[in-house]
Structure formats: C-alpha cells, structure tokens
Structure 1
C-alpha cells in the first residue's frame, strides 16, 4: 500500500483525437488507464514514440512479476520486468501512480522482494500493491506485510481516493478454496460493505485484487468463491472497474455497470482456459516469448464503454 495522496491530478493534458479515433498500440506488459468524465478507459501502455496525451487521472497496472522465477518459460523474469519498467520510464506523460496486482515474487523470498523493489522503484511512481498467492509463501507470512501492508486492514486490504475516484485493494489469496479458487472471507466483506456505505452512487469505483473476482475458469481456480458477494455491494454504483492479474493474459468482460479486466504477466504466459491439462508457466519458443508478454491494440472511441482488445506480438 502507498501512503501518498493522489487527490491532485497531474496537469491537464489532452488526448490526441487521432489516436483516440483510430487505434493505439501499446506494450502489454502493463495497462495504462485514464479516468475522464468519471469513467475509466484502458488506453494501454503506449510506446513512447506513439504516446497519446491522456485526459485527467491516469494510472498504470502491472502484474505477476514473479521475481525469482527461472524456469524454461522465462529464465530471466528480472529482465522482462526491467523491460516493462524501461517502457514506463520512457513515457513522455507520466501516469499519476501504478497498481501492482500481485505475485511480485515467486517464492516470497526477501531477495526477490528486494530485486522487485529495486527495479520497480526506477519508474519513480507511487505504487499500490495487493498480494498474490506467491507473495504469501514464507513460513510466517510476514515479508509482504512488512513491506507493503503497513496501514492496511486484516491481511492487507485498504482503500484510497484519487481525483474523485475511490480505489479498493482486496486480498483474495489467503484462504484459497477447492481447486485454488480465491476467497475474500467474512471479515473483509464486512469491511468492504462498510467502506462503501454512504458513498455517492455516482462515485467511480476501481477494485483491484490478484485472482479475478469473476469466474473465468473454475476448474483451474480462476475465480473467487465469494466474489459475487463483493460485487453485490457494488451494483448500485454507476461506474465500477475490476482489475485482476493471476491468469497472465488479457481477458475482459462487461456485465451491467461493471467492467472486468485481467492483465498480462511481466514474467511468463499461461495457456488459455481449457487448452492445457492445467494452468502454469507455458514454454514457447524464445523468439515468441515477448509476443505473448508484449503488444496489444486497443480501439477506443469516446462514449463507448466497451473496448476492443486485440493481441499483437511485440515481434513478428
């Protein structure tokens, strides 16, 4: 969690009309979000040579760095995180802050968190974290909490406000259920209900957690067992965006007032749901790896809440 206050937006940059009405190419190792008119829109992490100038508050999402991972799917997870941060540093218009949606480390080792902190800090952005299940492996489950959990509730949940938007960081990796499904638990759900109580229904809400709150593929544990209860508390709000990681690929769903979006990993890809015997690191040819971590195109038109996200490889 961050102790910074983001209630003051950075300047008043304007979005390039040509880039908006056409499509924007971005590095899929992170997602750039812009909030304009109270509605978050995914702009993508845009290459510095093609950077649009977003309107209002912008923030980045990165996920699943898995620092410490060194298996054939990507023996250099540090290097690909460095590439992602390098792209962020090259952006001519800096976002207001960054959200990391979990699995910072691979085995919850102090050295892994040290490496992640060293690299991510080079972006010179305030970062808000939520844990992934790989961040809670250490015996006393304290390394994540000592570094990122100060000032949070329970196992690390919290909320903050930025430029009129209410952000909520949830933890659904502590008490995993059958098949690895995420779980929020009664205490956190009660806190969430209280956190939202009395807020204007016109307040834009951004929720972020590691495991998807919607059921992507329960056979692989890609969902949160009690996620529907959390979403019930959000039904009355006009604009709700839910950001997750965990599945290492972009998937999006719009359901009523809620837009769900999962992010790519900066470390390694996973198979599409049901296309392999089980989830896990997916080995591809070395020259294909960055294609699966890398580029996507987004078609974004003003007033259109649905985004067309088209995967495009960094190479080839």
Structure 2
C-alpha cells in the first residue's frame, strides 16, 4: 500500500500519483478509526462485506454521469449511467441513500436534467442526494437550483444527519473562472453548522472538486479548502468524498481521508500524463473497467468508514 501524506497541501507529483494509482484500481476497503486509516484488499463480491449492525449505515456514491456528452470516449453516456443504476439496484443490501457528486449533466440543459431525474428516480433507495459539478452550472446555477435547491442554503449547500454521522454537501464549482472555490459565505456556514457537534461525531463531506491539491493546474483542487478543513480539526474522523477527476485516489492528511470516485461517463487522464484533462478513449471493451460506483459503509460498533470501489460489470 502506498500512503501519501502532505500536510501543506502541496501538489502531487506525477510519479507519486501513479504509485498511488497502481493500487487504487483494486477494490479496497478503507477503515477509519479515530482519524487513523488502514486498508485491505477484498473480493469484488459485495456479499463478502460484514453484516451491518442496527446503527450501521450503508450508502452509495455515484458521480460524473455527464448526460448529454457526445464523443468517442463514450458513445452512450445515458446507457452507462443506467447500467450504474442497475448495478446499485442489484446490490445485496439496499443503500440508505445514494449521493451523486456532480456533473450530472454535460451542458446543463433542461432535457439533460430531466433525463438525470428520470433515471435517478429508479434507484432503489429512500433518498437521492446530489451536489453540482461545473457542468451543471454552465450559464448559471439556476437550472440546477430549480430542481435540487429546495431545502438548501446559498448556492445549494446543505447538511444532514443519519445514524450519528454528520454529512456536509458542499458547492465548490460556481466560480468557473476559479475552479474549486467555496467562498466566504459558505465557509461561515460550515463553521456554524459544525459548531454544536461533539468532537467524536463522524464527519463525511461531499463535494464535486477535490478538497485537496490533487493537481491545481487542471482545476483539481479547492483553493480555500484549508479554511474549511480547519473547522474539522477537532473531529476524530473526517472523510471527504469527491468526483470531478473520474478516477480513484485516496489520500490521508491528519484526521482527514480524501477519496475520489470514478465517473459513469468516461475516464480522464492521470495528472501530468496529458496536456489537459480531456476525455480518454480506451480500447473497445475496456470502457466499463474505467467506470463505476462506490459503496460506503459506516460501522457504528468500530467507528469505521469503509469504501469499496466497484467497476461497472462488463
């Protein structure tokens, strides 16, 4: 296992990232207890996961469906999004909720949002949550907020509690000229939202753009994330689940574990391996291996968060 620690949020170099990616493609269970992370490889069969206790929490993350995309990287993103949903619906355990971490659409048209809503409505879960990606706010965030802004604050951020875990759903894409930015209003809200929580409360943060400096040259970072994470230093376990980069990576900084997810539309290059983060066309028959969903389990008895990244079935 390769562990990357960077307390100064410095940029990951290409070699270090590729070393991390060498093992990140495997199904890995991450367990966090008191801010300490460990990992072990497991089989791809979700039925092998431990049985939940009464207060355990099981949910699924999907990301980057890019409905409306047209290109050689994926000739039918609607189909692969539908396949991801079918995969979730076929899981041995029904998730308490499904979170879509952004870029639901490719150009934020009404028709694209309608397609996402129709397909997401078939998910077998009690709740479907989402945060916007930069592709969902092209031309402004109103179209997204009209559909998903109810009961949110400001630009669409919100929080909720479930089984003793506190969840933050953040928005860091509205300033497209400065990709990865929370803003002072949202930072103030985060501070206030967390202020009344006990320090042993597990915190899970959702956002589209990574909350660490994964690769700032490509907009794969959030410039004011250090301030937001500063409000979380007193908590023993903080996990940040992001989309945007269309590939799996996990990083640990102190009490915080960062995890990025595959998309359901197309892969993107690893940082520094291409001139720009443009969709990658893979050989025929290999697309599903680059797409997938993430299963996440909070184990109350052991205070652990475990993540298993599943590729789409071929």
TM-score when scaled to structure 2? 0.79
In the TM superposition, what are the counterparts of 1:222-261 in structure 2 within 5 Å? 222-261=220-259
Give the CA deviation at 1:284. Answer: 1.1
Give the CA deviation at 1:141. Answer: 2.9
1:264 alignment counterpart: 262
2:77 alignment counterpart: 77
1:182 alignment counterpart: 180
Return the alpha-carbon distance in structure 1 between the equivalents of residues 173 and 71 of structure 2: 23
Return the alpha-carbon distance in structure 1 between the equivalents of residues 96 and 274 of structure 2: 38
TM-score when scaled to structure 1? 0.79
C-alpha distance 170-306 of structure 1, shift in aligned 2 (>3 A): closer
Runs of at least 5 residues in structure 2 that lack an aligned partner in the other structure: 1-24
Is the partner of 1:286 in helix, strand or coil?
coil
Give the CA deviation at 1:292. Answer: 1.3
Is the partner of 1:82 in helix, strand or coil?
helix
Encode CA deviations 1:232-284: one digit per residue, 9 max, x unaligned: 11111011000100000001001111110000000000000100011021111
1:116 alignment counterpart: 116
1:198 alignment counterpart: 196
Is the partner of 1:122 in helix, strand or coil?
coil
Give the CA deviation at 1:172. Answer: 0.3
In the TM superposition, what are the counterparts of 1:15-54 in structure 2 within 5 Å? 47=45, 53-54=51-52
Return the alpha-carbon distance in structure 1 between the equivalents of residues 57 and 224 of structure 2: 31
Encode CA deviations 1:43-89: one digit per residue, 9 max, x unaligned: 99965676663441111100001011121100110111111111111
Contact 2:99/2:129 (CA < 8 Å) preserved in 1? yes
Q: Pairwise CA RMSD of aligned residues?
A: 3.7
Q: Which moved more, 1:34-43 or 1:84-93?
A: 34-43
Confirm or deny that 1:128 pairs with 2:132.
Answer: no
Give the CA deviation at 1:203. Answer: 0.5
Give the CA deviation at 1:113. Answer: 1.0
Return the alpha-carbon distance in structure 2 between the equivalents of residues 150 and 58 of structure 1: 25
Confirm or deny that 1:88 pairs with 2:98.
Answer: no
Encode CA deviations 1:109-142: one digit per residue, 9 max, x unaligned: 11111111111111132111100000001x4531
Return the alpha-carbon distance in structure 1 between the equivalents of residues 220 and 150 of structure 2: 28
1:155 alignment counterpart: 155
1:107 alignment counterpart: 107
Return the alpha-carbon distance in structure 2 between the equivalents of residues 147 and 295 of structure 1: 23
Structure 1 runs of 4+ off > 2 angstroms? 31-55, 294-298, 302-315
Return the alpha-carbon distance in structure 1 between the equivalents of residues 129 and 295 of structure 2: 26
Runs of at least 5 residues in structure 1 that lack an aligned partner in the other structure: 1-25
Report which structure shows greater RCO (CA 8 Å, sep ≥6): 2
C-alpha distance 310-163 of structure 1, shift in aligned 2 (>3 A): closer
1:4 alignment counterpart: none
1:275 alignment counterpart: 273
Return the alpha-carbon distance in structure 2 between the equivalents of residues 165 and 47 of structure 1: 26
Confirm or deny that 1:144 pairs with 2:155.
Answer: no
C-alpha distance 27-308 of structure 1, shift in aligned 2 (>3 A): closer
Aligned length: 283
Is the partner of 1:99 in helix, strand or coil?
strand
